[in-house]
Homo-oligomer: A and B are copies of this chain.
Amino acid sequence: MTAPVPPAGEERRRDRDRTRADILDTAAAEFAERGFDGARVDEIAARTRTTKRMIYYYFGGKKQLYMEVLERAYARIRAAEQTVSVGHLDPLTAIRRIAEVTFDHHEANPDFVRLVSTENIHNAEHVAEMTGLVRVNTPAILLLDEILARGREQGIFRDDIDAIDVHMLISGFCFFRVANRHTFRAIFGRDLVDPARREHYRKMLGDLVVDHLTALG
């Protein structure tokens, strides 16, 4: 009875979503590559399957496009964090695991790092407008909080460092290594992202955090 009529609506929606995603991917690359002001809407359009007009049709403008790119980038890093389950690990191992995941994600997503750098040059004015980012990011803190609490209960962690401090320490290390890679290399002659040194820095970060947390304070 029900003829296999092409599900026009759905197919269109899929097209629409694909086009949007295409634009978002391209825009993410362009914004990461050149920053907000350096990025060109024409260039994004040219690297896309569609036309410049579609950017305005789907996103409204350069700024809104940038904001969706940024929001998606944050969502992804937090999603990656959520995949690690550390509930069953002892505090030391758990904290090391989190450091490693963060390290890996920054390394794998230099564009995310560059977007965040760009956003800070703009004083986080766009992020400030994104209600929802707080919600998306708090799980990361809650997780650390729980691990730190367990560590303190066991008497192995100092107690003058809170979850946000640990997050800053880990993120700062990972972020700087990727974000400042270029000036660092130009000035000190060392490529912080050289694969040959990857394990060294990955371990260094874990040690660093553990050494500090387990020190006497």
A56-64, A148-156, A181-189: which lies at the interface = A181-189
A207 to B217, CA, bound (A): 8
Find chain B residues with CB under 8 A from A182 CB.
119-120, 123-124, 127-128
Cβ-neighbour of A189 out of B114, B134, B160 (below 8 A): B134
A34-B37, A171-B176 known; A127 vs B187 contact (CB < 8 Å): yes
Number of copies: 4
Q: At the interface, is chain A mostly helix, strand, loop or mixed?
A: helix
Per-position binary interface string of chain A over residues 162-205, scored 1 when its CB falls under 8 Å from any chain B CB and 0 otherwise: 00110111011101110111111111111010000000100010
Q: Fill in one digit per residue for A9-52: 1 if any B CB lies within 8 Å of its CB, else 0.
A: 00000000000000000000000001111100000000000000
A79 within 8 A of B: no
Distance in angstroms from A58 CB to nearest chain B CB is 16
Chain A count of residues within 8 A CB distance of the other chain = 55
Residues of B near A207 (CB, < 8 A) are 212, 215, 217
Given contacts A34-B121, A127-B187, A160-B200, 12 further A-B contacts (CB under 8 A): A34-B37, A35-B118, A74-B187, A117-B117, A120-B181, A120-B183, A127-B186, A137-B187, A168-B184, A172-B180, A175-B180, A179-B179
